Structure 1
Amino acid sequence: MDGGIPSGSVRVKPVALWLLLSLAKLWLAARLPAFGDEAFYIQEGRRLAWAYSDLPGLTAWLTRLGQEIFGQGLFAARLPFFLLGALLPWQLWRISARWFGPEVADRAALLAMLMPLGGLMGVLALPDVPLLVAGLLCVDGLAAMMAGRRGAGATALAAGLVLGALAHYRFAAFLAAGLAGLLLAPAGRRLLREPRLWLALAAGALAWWPLLRWNLDHAGAGLGFQFVDRHPWTWHAEGLVWPLIQAVLLTPLLFAALLGTLVEAWRRRREGAAWPFLFGAGAMATLGWFLLGFFADSDRVSFHWPLAGWLLACCAAPVLLWRWRRPWRRLCLGMAAAGSLALLAYLAVLADPDGRRALAGSPAYADNFSGWSEVAEATRRRLQAMPTGTRLVADNFMLGAQLSLALGRDDVLVLEHPLNAKHGRAPQLRHWGLLAEHRPGGSVLVVLEDTARPGKHRLRAYRALCEWAGSLDSPEVLNVDHGRKRFLLFALPAPERGGCVLPAMADLESPRPGQQLESAFEVAGWAIKPGAGVARVEVLLDGEPVAEAIYGHARPDVLDYWGLLRDGADTGVGLRARVEAGNRSGAAWLSLRVHGRDGSVEELPAMPVRFAR
């Protein structure tokens, strides 16, 4: 044992923190809306298979297991992940105790729980939870084997390898990290002559077969997405912000302590088995992602990928951290605790509809948690007014999965959408027969997530929908959280009816978002409604009409931008208005309401402004 901790130190007991954290995580799991990807994993769980286009089968199986044991619903689907997440600190405790003794292990578990991302693992039904459990189980097995417990260690290693292969493609990086640690440690190299190690590796290798078989049957679609399509594989500078992002997520002093632990592991790499293994595996699982970040996907969330490496570093971090001067050590632990509390508070805000709405004007708005219950309720209400047997078609895979979860139906079709390919879900939808390449017959309700596309691509999307549907009437508009999430509901008419009326589009060019206004101010912008035309435009403050815009100013530049400028076209799409806001002060939301010549009324997304006090 090599604790490196003064004998007079106070031993920290992590059990109380674990209990409090577990209660908080249970509350969040019961209250948070479904995260975008969660709904799709639950949808996969209703169609059990060995593997899917985006992942191996384990995540889907766990969501199904939760619902089979604990009842239907999102909370039940999350419970297996909560239970696995609750194991993580004790897995670290076991590894750390084996290498450095129980006192260091107590503090290692404490650090893991104070780490904002590590402590809150298990709130959501995401594959990272079983992935981390599998990775730590492998480390525990290897540590036991290097300590001489070959049989028990090989069993744990085999179990971890199988779980990891069934959890995520990214487990391949865990294998590379484990191999680096094994080769750096003399005791690890000696294990290469141990038959039980190779038996465990063989069991782990067999667990990849379902995923490989799926790829063989689908022209390598999953492998192509995970390792080719989603990555540019050219150098880009976004990797330079990786240390800053990690320092913020871990909190700065804990980030420094964990990096210092890797440096300490390098310095003591010739001592025993723990230090060289920790350096090899920990550095590969953290700094390896840093190097990869200069070449790999920077469009999707990847800040959590090094978490396994940071958790592994926690096993030895107390050896270094408890040498710090007491004020610095307390500051480090305090900052980590504050970071975890801040993340808990943020998630608590997201669990409340009013909280999500309050964040609508800020970068902290969580798009993937927002709007789903509102659009499900609007869809349910609209379907009740339509003929029995109406087919439901969603704009993209995420909306389709959310509607499927909320409405309890497995027949939600999904349109072709860039998000389907971007997230690797298009092959799976096609395999299920849920990709709506052609309009189904009879009555159809199409739900479009308008804000899932950049504004510059929306007119093209409307035209594609018109071509798919054959005809369109003006939609029912649902603005959630001041329009940060916006949905359009189209009840399609009979196929033989021709012509399309597209949704209204508008922009306020003045004032701009966040601008401070006086009680009287000028509004300028434009509005169009292809297929019907604009009758009039109202200016709204906090959803209430405050002015009628003068509509009809010539704006050929607007029509030219949208490809609508033709010989003889009416270019009078500009608008102006003077608004008298009275005694308003503080924050407000400014928007437009467009009245079409077909009688439609569509409110556009609002933007935040402020009034001088």
Structure 2
Amino acid sequence: MREANDATAARRGFIALWLVVFAIKWVVAARLPLFVDEAFYWQESRHLAWAYSDLPGLSAWLASIGDAIAPGNVLALRLPFLLIGAAVPWLVAHMTIRELDVRSGWLAGSLTLLLPLAGTLGLLALPDAPLLLASVLCLDAGLRLLRRVDAFVAGELALGLVIGGLTHYRFVAVIAVGLFALLALREGRAALRSPWTWAAVAIGALAWLPLLLWNLQNADAGLRFQLVDRHPWQFSGEGFRLGRMQLLLATPLLLAAMTVAAWRGLRDAHAGVRDLALSGAMIVLGFLALGFFADRERASFHWPLPGYIALLPLVPAVLARWHRGWRIAAWSFAAFGLATVLAFYVVASVPALREQTASRNFHPTNFAGWDVLARKVDDTLATMPPGTQLLAGNFKIAAELGFARGDADIAVLDHPLNHKHGRAPQLALWGLAHDTRESLGKVPLLLVASSNDVDFRDLLAHYHRLCEQVGPLPPPRVLNIDHGRQRFLLFELGATRRDGPCTTPAMAFLDAPASSASVGDSFEVAGWAFKDGVGLRGVDVLVDGRVVARARYGEANAGVADFWRGSTDPNHPRVYFRSRVVDLSSGRHWLGLRLHGLDGSSEDWPAQLVVVR
């Protein structure tokens, strides 16, 4: 009777938690601006194909279904992914109930909801949702194979393999681990002798055919990006930092419980338990090891998630042996981890909250300001000649503006970011990639560029590259989002390329005070600023967007020209400035600069935080 009551309580707890989490995700998904990758999958959904340069086609197909429900609506776009994410905890629960017991099943489902990356699954329209669904289906089918092989099990395995093969290259790891686990178990080897199993594998293999054909037709561009270009394949100690992030997102006590569960599970008499332990441990440890040699520039903290999900069914039995205080702590830490990740998305969805994080490393830059940019673009186009064409400085801007404007065919300049994220070949196939403005014809252009998408040390070279592509740059309309943490530059270009030397946006740096420095109510402001092609005539100091002082500009500083050797500002080396800010009230303030060019331009530089004591 007690066991039945415990199982009933676990079931009710799971359902209540599922409803709460799903409701929160629904509200956040409706308000959260599109992440840049989501916007690109939307763009792919407007050019439906079996495969693309970055991924197979399933994510774009799901995005197309959502977009068809309500075009231009972020919640509709995410809806298929939200539903997939909502289904995964139920699948984990029922898989665990069948293999272990009822109470453990509902507890495993609850742990899936609380595991931060699994609990937020589907909140964004990204491949992670169908990829985890495919992994769970294959895991469930693999456990069934250990009992018996029939048409139903083969169908489930085939479905999982097809979904995974149509979702991501990374699914290869799940296939490899699943095959190894079956080979390692006597019952698994018996299952591999069944023709039903190999029929499922054959169907799953067909799912990779579109990706294979795409790569054969495009000089292996997708394979080279996923397996060669994005990975250094050299050992780096940065793998420790990545590994800490991957493990931290499992939450410490839950991770400890999974470790114990894997250790015990590998020696368990139950074949299904050994399969779960082996599959989970291999995926987690494999991706941890890969982090020392693979891509460390893009987000990869989510890679081990299928491994964590495989271990969760074994965790309730481990927690049952812990002291009550430790059990409560494990559940509390997991809940806190989920709440923290959800809070990040809430902050990203509320401009006033997001702005407060502008001085922090966790500022959600890739979510910030796209709606403001779209309105600015519309307003600017309204003042330009009829027939003006929009030209995006990179794929991010094109995709985000495309979604906001309902236009999936915005022209894109060649940019290192397009290649870094494997999108350049796809843009070329769509006929949207342009090396120079001449390929667009003699039409007025509105070039929308960003100063955030290259390292600061490469920014001047990037501006000169823009001059090579479109000609000397006119004074930009500057749009600073969240005190310049996200910064866009809008250039109004005539129908033909201008003649003359390269004129770039202004550049600056504050030597004093340092960002987030604590200062008195009066303090010195010092730094350098220049503008290639024409030079600057003055620098204003801003506090909270208001001019509070005119800096003394023109002090000699040869070090600036030595560092920026390609600079053509005629004022070098007299590009240093100094000023003094007085009588500031105590508290947080945003210190910025307004740079006045000799060509009549006026550009606000990104602001930095100072705290007045």
The answer to whether TM tops 0.5 is yes
Q: CA deviation at 1:320?
A: 1.2
2: CA distance, partners of 1:346 / 1:569: 44
Would you say the 8 A contact 1:471–1:492 is kept in 2? no
2: CA distance, partners of 1:564 / 1:149: 68
Amino acid at match of 1:374: V
Would you say the 8 A contact 1:179–1:281 is kept in 2? no
1: CA distance, partners of 2:512 / 2:453: 25
1: CA distance, partners of 2:241 / 2:106: 33
In the other structure, the counterpart of 2:37 is: 37
Q: CA deviation at 1:493?
A: 2.5
In the other structure, the counterpart of 1:571 is: 573
Would you say the 8 A contact 2:584–2:612 is kept in 1? no
In the other structure, the counterpart of 1:457 is: 458
In the other structure, the counterpart of 2:129 is: 129
In the other structure, the counterpart of 2:244 is: 244
Would you say the 8 A contact 1:515–1:609 is kept in 2? yes
Structure 2 CA distance for partners of 1:572 and 1:342, relative to 1, 3 Å: same
In the other structure, the counterpart of 2:472 is: 471
Question: Cα deviation per residue 1:36-84 (whole Å; 9 max; x = unaligned)?
Answer: 1000000000000000000000000000011223444222110000011
1: CA distance, partners of 2:567 / 2:70: 59
1:425 corresponds, among 423, 426, 430, to: 423
Which runs of 5 or more structure 2 residues have no equivalent in the other structure? Answer: none
Question: Cα deviation per residue 1:261-300 (whole Å; 9 max; x = unaligned)?
Answer: 11111222xx132122112211121111111111111111
1:526 corresponds, among 528, 544, 553, to: 528
Amino acid at match of 2:261: T
In the other structure, the counterpart of 1:332 is: 330
Alignment of 1:37-186 (within 5 A): 37-148=37-148, 150-186=150-186
In the other structure, the counterpart of 2:217 is: 217
2: CA distance, partners of 1:185 / 1:276: 8
Amino acid at match of 2:295: D
In the other structure, the counterpart of 2:253 is: 253
Deviates more, 1:540-549 or 1:561-570: 561-570
Counterpart secondary structure, 2:579? strand
In the other structure, the counterpart of 1:511 is: 513
Structure 2 CA distance for partners of 1:416 and 1:190, relative to 1, 3 Å: same
In the other structure, the counterpart of 2:368 is: 370
How many pairs were matched up? 605
Q: CA deviation at 1:242?
A: 4.4
Which runs of 5 or more structure 1 residues have no equivalent in the other structure? Answer: none
Q: CA deviation at 1:389?
A: 1.8
1: CA distance, partners of 2:81 / 2:35: 14
Q: CA deviation at 1:25?
A: 0.7
Structure 2 CA distance for partners of 1:356 and 1:475, relative to 1, 3 Å: same
Counterpart secondary structure, 1:305? coil
Counterpart secondary structure, 1:557? helix
In the other structure, the counterpart of 2:195 is: 195
Q: CA deviation at 1:570?
A: 4.4
Counterpart secondary structure, 1:167? coil
Counterpart secondary structure, 1:361? coil
Structure 2 CA distance for partners of 1:496 and 1:137, relative to 1, 3 Å: closer
Structure 2 CA distance for partners of 1:530 and 1:152, relative to 1, 3 Å: same
TM-score (norm 1): 0.96
Question: Cα deviation per residue 1:229-287 (whole Å; 9 max; x = unaligned)?
Answer: 1111111112223453234212110111111111111222xx13212211221112111
1: CA distance, partners of 2:206 / 2:72: 33
Q: CA deviation at 1:512?
A: 0.8
2:285 corresponds, among 275, 284, 287, to: 287
Q: Residue 597 in 1 paired to residue 595 in 2? A: no
1: CA distance, partners of 2:570 / 2:385: 42
Deviates more, 1:53-62 or 1:289-298: 289-298
Would you say the 8 A contact 1:265–1:275 is kept in 2? yes
Deviates more, 1:51-60 or 1:453-462: 453-462
Would you say the 8 A contact 1:587–1:609 is kept in 2? yes
Structure 2 CA distance for partners of 1:127 and 1:564, relative to 1, 3 Å: closer
Amino acid at match of 1:546: V
1: CA distance, partners of 2:142 / 2:395: 40
Counterpart secondary structure, 1:535? strand
Would you say the 8 A contact 2:388–2:445 is kept in 1? yes
2: CA distance, partners of 1:377 / 1:458: 26
Q: CA deviation at 1:326?
A: 1.2
Would you say the 8 A contact 2:149–2:197 is kept in 1? no
In the other structure, the counterpart of 1:357 is: 355
Would you say the 8 A contact 2:534–2:598 is kept in 1? yes
Q: CA deviation at 1:149?
A: 5.3
Would you say the 8 A contact 2:533–2:569 is kept in 1? no
Question: Cα deviation per residue 1:201-220 (whole Å; 9 max; x = unaligned)?
Answer: 00000110000000000000
Alignment of 1:293-312 (within 5 A): 293-312=291-310
Q: CA deviation at 1:27?
A: 0.5
Counterpart secondary structure, 1:315? helix
2: CA distance, partners of 1:496 / 1:243: 49
Q: CA deviation at 1:568?
A: 8.7
Structure 2 CA distance for partners of 1:565 and 1:214, relative to 1, 3 Å: closer
Q: CA deviation at 1:147?
A: 2.0
Deviates more, 1:158-167 or 1:234-243: 234-243
Q: Residue 547 in 1 paired to residue 549 in 2? A: yes
Would you say the 8 A contact 1:556–1:565 is kept in 2? no
2: CA distance, partners of 1:383 / 1:445: 7
Amino acid at match of 1:150: D
Q: CA deviation at 1:411?
A: 2.6
Q: CA deviation at 1:341?
A: 1.6
Would you say the 8 A contact 2:112–2:118 is kept in 1? yes
Would you say the 8 A contact 1:471–1:493 is kept in 2? no
Amino acid at match of 1:118: A
Question: Cα deviation per residue 1:508-558 (whole Å; 9 max; x = unaligned)?
Answer: 111111111111111111111112221111001111111110111112221
Counterpart secondary structure, 2:433? coil
2: CA distance, partners of 1:496 / 1:292: 48
Would you say the 8 A contact 1:414–1:435 is kept in 2? yes
Identity of aligned residues (%): 46
What value does the CA root-mean-square deviation take over the aligned residues? 1.7
Amino acid at match of 2:161: L
Deviates more, 1:557-566 or 1:141-150: 557-566
Would you say the 8 A contact 1:445–1:490 is kept in 2? yes
TM-score (norm 2): 0.96
2: CA distance, partners of 1:29 / 1:56: 24
In the other structure, the counterpart of 1:266 is: 266
Q: CA deviation at 1:6?
A: 7.5
Counterpart secondary structure, 1:471? coil
In the other structure, the counterpart of 1:445 is: 446
Counterpart secondary structure, 1:147? coil
Counterpart secondary structure, 1:47? coil
